């Protein structure tokens, strides 16, 4: 992580919801768009780094057998554990990207609002790790704020440009608004389950 850990510690010291995930309509709507953008109804194993206080995690947990969540900040981890404590399919741990990457394969990796806190070299390591740990029909969802963030080595457009340049995957969804960019990339050219389509 290129941005110092103290940055996040200070945010969580001041509030248990520093980005107002629970209260802002913008965040609620974006979370619902993320969930609606997932082309599959159910995933076996999902990895969500930078889970913060676990608001998106709670929605992801309803769509998978196992959810692995990480966050850099110990207060965020405690808040996420509290938020997700009743869900038996969720593991929440402390981890710092790109170094702390969980083992095993995933069929969905969610990179939300994290890329600009990493310098380009670190972000490329995350991209490589994500590709290496996706199953053969796996997908990667990325969503990032597009406005400048003071102290961050990249902006949202740069983060997604590196994804487009380096991901050896098929982009199956792109949704852009004035404030954020949301994309879904798949290991397969189509994410339709042919067994569920009409003849």
**What tens digit of pLDDT does each residue of 74-86 get?**
888 998 999 999 8
Lowest mean pLDDT among 5-14, 152-161, 190-199: 190-199
- The structure's pTM equals 0.88
78 contacts 69 by C-beta, under 8 angstroms: no
What mean pLDDT is predicted for residues 38-56? 94
Tell me how far apart the alpha carbons of residues 89 and 46 are, in angstroms, rounded to a whole number. Answer: 10
Lowest mean pLDDT among 10-14, 65-69, 91-95, 164-168: 10-14
Residue 105 tokens read as: 């394969």
Q: To the nearest whole percent, how much of the chain has pLDDT over 70?
A: 85
Q: Which fold has domain 5-196?
A: Rossmann fold (3.40.50)
Q: What is the pLDDT of residue 13?
A: 67
Domain ranges of the chain: 5-196
Bond into 149 cis (ω within 30): no
What mean pLDDT is predicted for residues 14-18? 67
Residue 15 tokens read as: 């509030």
Tell me how far apart the alpha carbons of residues 148 and 108 are, in angstroms, rounded to a whole number. Answer: 28
Which CA distances in Å does 97 have to 47, 64, 119, 122, 190?
13, 23, 11, 8, 29
Residue 112 tokens read as: 């939300």
SS3 53: coil
Answer positive or negative: Cα dihedral of 182, 186, 190, 191: negative
Asked whether the predicted pLDDT for residue 110 surpasses 50, the reply is: yes
Q: What is the pLDDT of residue 199?
A: 47
Tell me how far apart the alpha carbons of residues 199 and 181 are, in angstroms, rounded to a whole number. Answer: 34
126 contacts 98 by C-beta, under 8 angstroms: yes
Answer positive or negative: Cα dihedral of 176, 119, 135, 109: negative
Tell me how far apart the alpha carbons of residues 151 and 120 are, in angstroms, rounded to a whole number. Answer: 14
Answer positive or negative: Cα dihedral of 62, 66, 72, 77: positive
């Amino acid at each position: 992580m290129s941005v110092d850990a103290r940055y996040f510690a200070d945010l969580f010291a001041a509030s248990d919801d520093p980005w107002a995930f629970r209260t802002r309509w913008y965040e609620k709507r974006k979370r619902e768009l993320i969930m609606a953008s997932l082309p599959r109804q159910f995933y076996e194993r999902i990895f969500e780094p930078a889970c913060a206080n676990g608001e998106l995690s709670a929605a992801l947990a309803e769509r998978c057998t196992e959810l692995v969540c990480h966050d850099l900040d110990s207060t965020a981890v405690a808040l996420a554990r509290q938020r997700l404590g009743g869900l038996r399919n969720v593991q929440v741990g402390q981890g710092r990207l790109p170094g702390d990457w969980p083992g095993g394969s995933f069929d969905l990796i969610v990179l939300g609002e994290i890329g600009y806190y990493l310098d380009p070299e670190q972000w490329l390591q995350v991209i490589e790790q994500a590709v290496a740990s996706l199953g053969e029909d796996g997908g990667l969802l990325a969503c990032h704020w597009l406005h400048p963030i003071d102290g961050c080595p990249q902006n949202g457009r740069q983060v997604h440009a590196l994804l487009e340049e380096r991901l050896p995957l098929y982009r199956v969804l792109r949704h852009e608004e004035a404030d954020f960019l949301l994309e879904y990339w798949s290991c397969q050219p189509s994410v339709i389950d042919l067994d569920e389509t009409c003849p």
